[in-house]
């Protein structure tokens, strides 16, 4: 109520009602002046602007509109029983920046173990992700993606308090459930300038950019039994990250085995490698990765394929994971051809195995301590299996039919899980 008259509503926005006072001056009101009225109006307009700013609104041409969030976050977790990876996409809706820092708080006991495309650190529940040297520039509307791997127990709740360069992202967080789709393509040359994921803490970490001709130290070339026409070379026309990879031309038949290998310290080993190949896995047994197990008289623990699907094989007793029944094979997966695939595995010294393909656990390639029909009955038939791998070899071993050309890149092996 101003000057005896009700102030009318100018406009309404959300829960905020903004009014401008209207009043009359009597003929006896000789104290006021036009200048006084200007001061009052200016004060009223200033109050309106302050109110709109508090409400997250901007006045444009007399119309109130809600301001866009400073940033948006798309948080995509992929979890298993004790850990997870997360891909994070950050969109900058504010002024361009030359460097960025994203922070958030984990609501549970999540603990970051590694990251890629950003430097990810953690103090208590507080996590900080800082740009890499090559992705710090973010224009208005531009996005950047990075990822990390972490452990947890109980519930893996999604964080919601993301801030970009110290400014809250207005709660604009999207969580997406990942789905893996297998796509087959044919490509003759593949190169990328995207830096490979980091492998901090890994015992072995190699993108093969420093090698020429054939892989050098710490790698050696050969096979435990016999080598014929198969070859291992550095290829500068096909790469997952950078400009080089290792090419393996694997021929069929027993005496065409070939591997590049290096030593491991023993105990539990976590691995990650990228592989692409030209020919679907055959019906016959083949191997493309092997680990020497000193706890099994130096026999190999082998990853490869049989019946067109991935499998583990224990050389000492020829046990397979999964069992090669139709039901067991159905719980494995083929290895897609013509595209890069991220393979992750854990060989635990307590007798457990974990395997993932392109970020998704493969149900038929797990030994988790709980017997599973058509998966681990052969494997668990030997009581007290406690592996101790002391080397890692990548290559090709055919026991009859089956030739393939494979490329390996961005390989990492160590005592902690390593993300794709």
Within this chain, do residues 358 and 269 fall inside the same structural domain, yes or no?
Answer: yes
Residue 17 confidence (pLDDT): 37
Residue 148: which CATH number? Answer: 2.60.40.290
Within this chain, do residues 390 and 246 fall inside the same structural domain, yes or no?
Answer: yes
DSSP 3-state of 163 = strand
Single residue among 20, 41, 66 that ends a domain in this structure = 66
Q: How far apart are CA 326 and CA 364, in angstroms?
A: 12
Q: Domain range for residue 156? A: 71-175
Q: How far apart are CA 368 and CA 360, in angstroms?
A: 16
Residue 312 confidence (pLDDT): 98
The answer to whether 314 and 379 have CB atoms below 8 angstroms apart is: yes
189-241, pLDDT tens digit by residue? 333 333 444 677 789 999 999 999 999 999 999 887 777 788 999 999 999 98
Instruction: Tell me, yes or no, whether 45 lies in a domain.
Output: yes
Within this chain, do residues 144 and 286 fall inside the same structural domain, yes or no?
Answer: no
Instruction: Tell me, yes or no, whether 146 lies in a domain.
Output: yes
Instruction: Tell me, yes or no, whether 161 lies in a domain.
Output: yes
Within this chain, do residues 280 and 208 fall inside the same structural domain, yes or no?
Answer: yes
Within this chain, do residues 166 and 269 fall inside the same structural domain, yes or no?
Answer: no
Single residue among 134, 159, 175 that ends a domain in this structure = 175
The token pair that represents 178 in the structure block = 């990942």
Residue 220 confidence (pLDDT): 93
How many structural domains does the chain have?
A: 3
Within this chain, do residues 266 and 394 fall inside the same structural domain, yes or no?
Answer: yes
**Helix segments in 268-323, DSSP class H:** none
DSSP state of 198: P
Instruction: Tell me, yes or no, whether 3 lies in a domain.
Output: no
Number of CB atoms found within 10 A of residue 322's CB: 30
Residue 2 confidence (pLDDT): 42
Within this chain, do residues 150 and 37 fall inside the same structural domain, yes or no?
Answer: no
Residues of the chain with pLDDT below 70 are 1-68, 80-81, 114-116, 133-134, 170-198
Residue 391: which CATH number? Answer: 2.60.120.200
The answer to whether 239 and 191 have CB atoms below 8 angstroms apart is: yes
Contact partners, residue 397, CB within 8 Å, separation at least 6: 223, 250, 257, 259, 286, 287, 288, 290, 302, 304
Within this chain, do residues 61 and 98 fall inside the same structural domain, yes or no?
Answer: no
Length of the chain counted residue by residue: 420
C-alpha distances (whole Å) from 304 to each of 243, 244, 285, 358 are: 26, 23, 7, 16
Residue 134 confidence (pLDDT): 64
Residue 148 confidence (pLDDT): 84
Single residue among 40, 66, 92 that ends a domain in this structure = 66
Residue 174 confidence (pLDDT): 61
The answer to whether 40 and 18 have CB atoms below 8 angstroms apart is: no
Within this chain, do residues 15 and 112 fall inside the same structural domain, yes or no?
Answer: no
Within this chain, do residues 298 and 337 fall inside the same structural domain, yes or no?
Answer: yes
Within this chain, do residues 54 and 92 fall inside the same structural domain, yes or no?
Answer: no
Q: How far apart are CA 251 and CA 398, in angstroms?
A: 7
Within this chain, do residues 357 and 249 fall inside the same structural domain, yes or no?
Answer: yes
Instruction: Tell me, yes or no, whether 193 lies in a domain.
Output: no
Encode the chain in three state secondary structure: CECCECCCEEEEECCEEEECCCCCCCCCCCCCCHHHHHHHHHHHHHHHHHHHHHCCEEEECCEEEECCCCEEEEEEEEECCCEEEEEEEEEECCCCECCCEEEEECCCCCEEEEEECEEEEEECCEEEEEECCCCCCECCCCEEEEEEEEECCCCCCCCCCCEECCEECCCCEEECCCCCCCCCCCCCCECECCCCCCCCCCCEEECCCCCCCCCCCCCEEECCCCCCCCEEEEECCECCCECCEEEEEECCCHHHCEEEEEECCCCCEEEEEEEEECCCCCCCCEEEEEEEEHHHCCEEEEEEEECCEEEEEECCCCEEECCCCHHHHHCCCCCCCCCCEEEEEEECCCCCEEEEECCEECHHHCECCCCCCCCCHHHHCCCCCCCCECEEEEEEEECCCCCEEEEEEEEEEECCCCCC
Residue 72 confidence (pLDDT): 92
Task: Find, among 118, 151, 161, 156, the residue nearest to 136 by Cα.
Answer: 118
Residue 331 confidence (pLDDT): 96
Instruction: Tell me, yes or no, whether 4 lies in a domain.
Output: no
Residue 181 confidence (pLDDT): 34
Residue 183 confidence (pLDDT): 35
Instruction: Tell me, yes or no, whether 158 lies in a domain.
Output: yes
Residue 149 confidence (pLDDT): 72
């Amino acid at each position: 109520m101003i000057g005896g008259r009700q102030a009318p509503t100018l406009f309404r926005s959300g829960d905020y009602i903004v009014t401008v006072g209207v009043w009359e001056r009597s003929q006896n009101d000789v104290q006021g002046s036009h200048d006084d009225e200007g001061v009052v109006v200016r004060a009223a307009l200033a109050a309106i602007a302050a109110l709109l700013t508090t409400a997250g609104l901007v006045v444009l041409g007399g119309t109130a509109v809600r301001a866009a969030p400073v940033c948006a976050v798309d948080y995509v977790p992929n979890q298993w029983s004790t850990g997870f990876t997360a891909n994070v996409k950050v969109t900058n809706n504010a002024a361009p920046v030359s460097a960025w820092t994203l922070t958030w708080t984990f609501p549970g006991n999540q603990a970051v173990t590694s990251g890629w495309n950003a430097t990810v650190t953690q103090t208590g529940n507080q996590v900080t992700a800082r740009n890499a040297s090559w992705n710090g520039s973010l224009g208005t509307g531009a996005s950047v993606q990075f990822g990390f791997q972490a452990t947890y127990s109980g519930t893996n709740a999604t964080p919601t308090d993301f801030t970009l360069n110290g400014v809250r992202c207005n709660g604009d967080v999207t969580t997406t459930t990942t789905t893996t789709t297998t796509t087959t393509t044919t490509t003759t040359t593949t190169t990328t300038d995207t830096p490979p994921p980091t492998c901090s803490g890994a015992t072995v970490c190699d993108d093969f950019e420093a090698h020429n001709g054939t892989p050098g130290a710490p790698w050696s070339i050969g096979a435990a039994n016999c080598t014929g026409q198969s070859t291992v070379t550095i290829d500068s026309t096909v790469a997952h990250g950078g400009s080089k990879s290792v090419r393996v031309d694997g021929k069929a038949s027993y005496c065409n085995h070939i591997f590049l290998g290096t030593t491991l310290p023993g105990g539990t080993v976590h691995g990650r490698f990228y592989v692409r190949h030209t020919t679907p896995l055959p019906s016959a047994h083949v191997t493309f990765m092997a680990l020497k197990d000193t706890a099994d008289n130096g026999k190999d623990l082998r990853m490869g394929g049989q019946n067109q699907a991935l499998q583990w094989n224990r050389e000492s007793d020829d046990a397979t994971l999964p069992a090669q029944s139709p039901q067991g094979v159905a719980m494995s997966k083929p290895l897609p051809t013509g595209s890069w695939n991220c393979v992750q595995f854990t060989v635990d010294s307590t007798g457990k195995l974990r395997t993932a393909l392109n970020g998704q656990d493969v149900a038929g390639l797990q030994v988790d301590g709980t017997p599973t029909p058509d998966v681990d009955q052969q494997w668990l038939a030997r009581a007290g299996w406690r592996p101790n791998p002391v080397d890692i070899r990548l290559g090709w071993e055919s026991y009859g039919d089956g030739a393939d050309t494979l490329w390996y890149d961005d390989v990492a092996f160590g005592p902690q899980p390593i993300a794709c």
